[in-house]
Structure 1
Amino acid sequence: MFALISGWHHRLNSQAHHGAVPFYVLVPALRKEAEMVDISVQSSDLEREQRSSTVNARLEEYWTKYSNGEVPTSTFLKAVSHLYGPSE
């Protein structure tokens, strides 16, 4: 997290030419940065939603197989643990 903030601060300082920047120059730079952050957050949210819907679809598939008796409990639990476990 510190690296992200540090990078953001460095980029903002570069745009402000590392010194006392007039207010009328600083405000547009901050506004531009805020728009970039908003776009970045929206993109991140979209990726998270796509991953979540994929996980939910797979979970439903495993649950159906388990409910129909097609797979034993141990297989079902292993499959679910792979869905929610750490990614490699």
Structure 2
Amino acid sequence: MYLAKVVGVIVATTKNEALVGKKILIVQPLNTDYNPIGNSEVAIDSVGAGTGEIVLVSTGSSARQVFDEEKNPIDRAIVAIVDNIEVNN
């Protein structure tokens, strides 16, 4: 899992049937100081996240399990909306 900020929405009227009814969002990975790292990515929302929110993103088979569908094209799923981060160094 990793932290990310929702930076956009994708609208796709024609898509794989496993994606029908699911919100597709663009997320920007972040470090624990909320600074962007790496490239933006596409993730499927499972928690009702919106643009500008900080979220946790799960990847791979863990992302597919969020939707109880082992054989689908989902590689990243938004699994939580983050309220606060505390890091003790």
Q: Which has the higher contact order (CA 8 A, sep 6+)?
A: 2
Superposition TM-score tier, normalisation by shorter sequence? under 0.3
Q: Which has the higher strand share?
A: 2
Q: Which has the higher helix share?
A: 1
Q: TM-score, normalised by structure 2?
A: 0.22
